[in-house]
Structure 1
Amino acid sequence: MALAQSELQRAAQRQPLRKSQVYNARQNTAFLCHSHHDKELAEGLQVWLAEQGVDLYIDWKDNAMPETPDRETAKRIQNRIQTSQWFLFLATANSKASRWCPWELGYADGKKNWDQIAVVPTADGRGTYGNEYLQLYRRVDANSLNQLFLFEPGSVQGAAVRTLRFI
């Protein structure tokens, strides 16, 4: 029901993607909404999704982003949300406390179809995060073979991410 944060941390060690790698809008793409305090978890999810054919956009890896968040940052984020096929919300204690994450989720909810938004619930030793969104949006979770699946709200049957076409 939630990805173990330790699994995301392990994935980040497999094949770290460098900041210089270019975002390709023609691939299956997803925008990642997350707290910058969860950089290692974000990189782990990026590696895991790349292994399954999905290019995950992470704003702090984008050299074109301003160093200090400002109106230009917001415009660029809005553009990336609109041009990505998917919007993923990495649910953690940090994203729950973030000021930007609720703004990004609200923006995506107003611009994208509901089936283009998914929550990535996570769990650590302190709890499980993202449950408040699971009846509203799809969720991404892993099976025992560490394959990522996409589930409809309230469903226990999912489709393998690698078999989906995000266009």
Structure 2
Amino acid sequence: MAIPQSTLRTYASREGFQKSASVVNEAKQMGRQTAFMSHSHRDADLAKGVQGFLQSLGWEVYIDWEDTVMPDKPDRRTATRIQQRIIELDWFFFLATENSMRSRWCPWEIGYADGKKPLDSILILQTKDESGHYYGNEYLQLYRYISASQSGAYRAYGAAQTQNGVLMESMRR
């Protein structure tokens, strides 16, 4: 079951979540879970929602536009910094939305992650919009995905798996 975008927007509206760049560095030093968030910048509210959701589970999520080291306009330094963060952080999350499916950067990021990270550390966050439309192309079905179980808990499932997913809270790298 895809995560409703309205649920992510609810997490985004909560107070107390910290920006990611320096927090992720601190979390890494303390042995906490860290993740790179691939998303379209047009989905900033959804990305903040994923960040808030994962922070509620004790994870820290890197969002590139919160990184003060990033240049104002994308260039080679942008690509290098993204590559560095994808490698450094424990997990790679792909936020599947209409905008990320049309993005030029998002497919590049997941392709890079595919070549550099263990496949079980790449997770797709399937979403469903208010009209009930689900997002994700066939190539995203090659990876593990996050979904709500029948109990409402979020779990990671294998590429073709629909049962016995791993609880998000228990996932460790």
TM over 0.5: yes
Unaligned 5+ runs, structure 1: none
Q: 1:150 aligns to what?
A: 156
Cα pair 2:96 2:136 within 8 Å, conserved: yes
Cα pair 1:119 1:133 within 8 Å, conserved: no
Deviation at 1:64, TM superposition (A): 1.2
Q: Could you state the TM-score of these two structures normalised by the residue count of structure 2?
A: 0.89
Of 135-144 and 25-34, deviating more is 135-144
How many angstroms apart in 1 are the aligned matches of 2:152 and 2:39?
A: 21
How many angstroms apart in 1 are the aligned matches of 2:94 and 2:87?
A: 15
Report whether the alignment pairs 1:87 with 2:92. Answer: yes
Q: Could you state the TM-score of these two structures normalised by the residue count of structure 1?
A: 0.92
**Runs of at least 4 residues off by over 3 Å:** 18-21, 143-147
Cα pair 2:23 2:60 within 8 Å, conserved: no
Of 51-60 and 89-98, deviating more is 51-60
How many angstroms apart in 1 are the aligned matches of 2:121 and 2:104?
A: 22
Amino acid at match of 1:9: R
Amino acid at match of 1:149: R
Q: Secondary structure at the match of 1:77?
A: helix
Deviation at 1:39, TM superposition (A): 0.4
How many angstroms apart in 2 are the aligned matches of 1:14 and 1:144?
A: 25
Note the 1:1-167 alignment, pairs <5 A.
1-15=1-15, 17-19=17-19, 22-24=23-25, 25-26=28-29, 27-124=32-129, 125=131, 127-130=133-136, 132-143=138-149, 146-156=152-162, 157-165=164-172, 167=173
What number of residue pairs does the alignment pair up? 166
How many angstroms apart in 1 are the aligned matches of 2:23 and 2:118?
A: 26
Cα pair 1:87 1:118 within 8 Å, conserved: yes
Deviation at 1:155, TM superposition (A): 1.2
How many angstroms apart in 1 are the aligned matches of 2:122 and 2:80?
A: 19
Identity of aligned residues (%): 48
Cα pair 2:10 2:49 within 8 Å, conserved: yes
RMSD: 1.7
